Amino acid sequence: MQIYGTNISSRLLLGTAQYPSPTVLKQAIEACGTEIITVSLRRETADGSGAGFWELLKDSNCKVLPNTAGCHSVQEAVVTAQMARELFGTNWIKLEVIGNSDTLQPDVFGLVEAARLLCADGFKVFPYTTDDIVVGEKLLEAGCELLMPWGAPIGSGQGLRNPDALRAMRAHFPDITMIVDAGIGRPSDATRAMELGMDAVLLNTAVAKAGDPVLMAQAMAQAVEAGRNGYNADPMEPRDMAVPSTPTLGMAELI
C-alpha cells in the first residue's frame, strides 16, 4: 500500500490514546506490527511534560500521524495542524473538524475548507469524513489523496453502521486509498471493512479499552490481514437457494 508516496506494509493504523500505561501501549504497537500511529496534539504538553510519551513514540520506529482531535472550527484545526507540524516534524496530518459533540460527526463543510487550506500549505491530509460520496469528491478536489470514512461514531465500537454506503464509496473511488476510521469494536468489524475493499483500518479505543489490549492488538492485525486476503480471493456471491457441495449424480438408489 502506498500512502502519499510512502510504502506501507501493515494495513492497520493504531491510535495511542487511553491505554492503561505507556508499557501496554508499546507492547500493543509491537504486537500488531503497525507502521503508522496517530497522536493528538495536546497544547498543555508545550511545557515538556509530554517528553516521555514523545520518546516512546520515536522508539516505536513508526510513522507518526498527528491529528486535530477535538477541533470544532476550521481555524482551530488549521492552527493545530501547523503546531503539530512543528512539534512532530511531519507534514502528515489526520484532519478532524467535529460538527456535533454527541456523535463526533465531522462538520463536512468545515472539513473541506480546512483540507483546502492545509493542502495548499503543503500538508498531506488524512481527512476523517462521513461515508458520503459527494463530500469525498470535494475532499479530493481540495487536494487530499485519500479518504477516511467513518464506520460508526468515534469510540462507539458499533462496527460498520452503513456497509452499503462504504461499498458504494469503494466502487465510486476505485483508485483512491480508503481507510475506515472510527467505530471498529471487534476484529470481525475490521475483517468486514477489509472485505468491502477498504485499503486499511484505523482504530484506537477497541484496543486501548480491551481487557487485554496487547492480545486485542494482535487480533486486530490478524483480522485486517484475513479480510484483505478474503477480498483479494474474490469470494463467492450469496445465493438465494442451497446448492449441494456434493453432486447427486452417481449416488446409490434404494429400490
Supply the pLDDT for residue 44.
Answer: 40
32-36, 39-43, 203-207, 229-233: segment of lowest average pLDDT: 39-43
DSSP string, 192-234: HHHHTT-SEEEESHHHHTSSSHHHHHHHHHHHHHHHHHHHHT-
| 204 known ligand binder | yes
Which residue type sits at 56? L
Active site residue 63: no
Are residues 186 and 218 in contact, defined by beta-carbon separation less than 8 angstroms?
no
pLDDT tens track for 84-121: 999 889 999 999 999 988 888 999 999 999 999 999 99
List, for residues 157-187, the tens digit of each pLDDT value: 999 999 999 999 999 999 999 999 999 999 9
Exposed / middle / buried, residue 24 (Cβ in 10 Å: 0-12, 13-18, 19+): middle
pLDDT at 49 over 80: no
Q: Does the pLDDT value for residue 222 go beyond 50?
A: yes
Do residues 146 and 168 touch, judged by C-beta distance below 8 A? no
Tell me what pLDDT residue 47 has: 46
| Contact predicate 31/62, CB 8 Å | no
119-142 mean pLDDT: 97
Q: What is the pLDDT of residues 185-210, one digit of tens each?
A: 999 999 999 999 999 999 999 999 99
Q: What is the pLDDT of residue 254?
A: 64
Q: Is the pLDDT of residue 55 over 90?
A: no
pLDDT-derived band at 252 (thresholds 50, 70, 90) equals low
> What is the average pLDDT score of the chain?
91
When pLDDT is cut at 50, 70 and 90, the band that residue 46 belongs to is very low
- pLDDT score of 221 more than 70: yes
With left for phi above 0 and alpha for psi between -120 and 50, is residue 63 left, alpha or beta?
Answer: beta
Give me the CATH code for the 2-233 domain, please: 3.20.20.70
Q: What does the angle CA 91 – CA 95 – CA 98 come to, to the nearest 5 degrees? A: 155
Q: What is the mean pLDDT of residues 61-78?
A: 93
Residue 236's pLDDT is 84
Report the relative pairing of strands 2-3 and 6-7 from DSSP bridges.
antiparallel
What was the pLDDT predicted at 112?
97
Residue 43 has pLDDT above 60, yes or no: no
Q: Is 129 annotated as a binding residue?
A: no
d(CA 52, CA 48): 9
Does residue 57 or residue 127 have the better pLDDT? Answer: 127
Quote the percentage of the chain above a pLDDT of 90: 75
Average pLDDT value for residue range 114-141: 97
Q: Which of 94, 124, 138, 209 is catalytic?
A: 94
Class of residue 163 by CB neighbours under 10 A (exposed 0-12, middle 13-18, buried 19+): middle
Enumerate helices (H) and strands (E) in the chain, giving the number of each: 9, 10
- To the question of whether residue 91 is assigned a binding role by annotation, the answer is no
* pLDDT reading at 124 higher than 80: yes
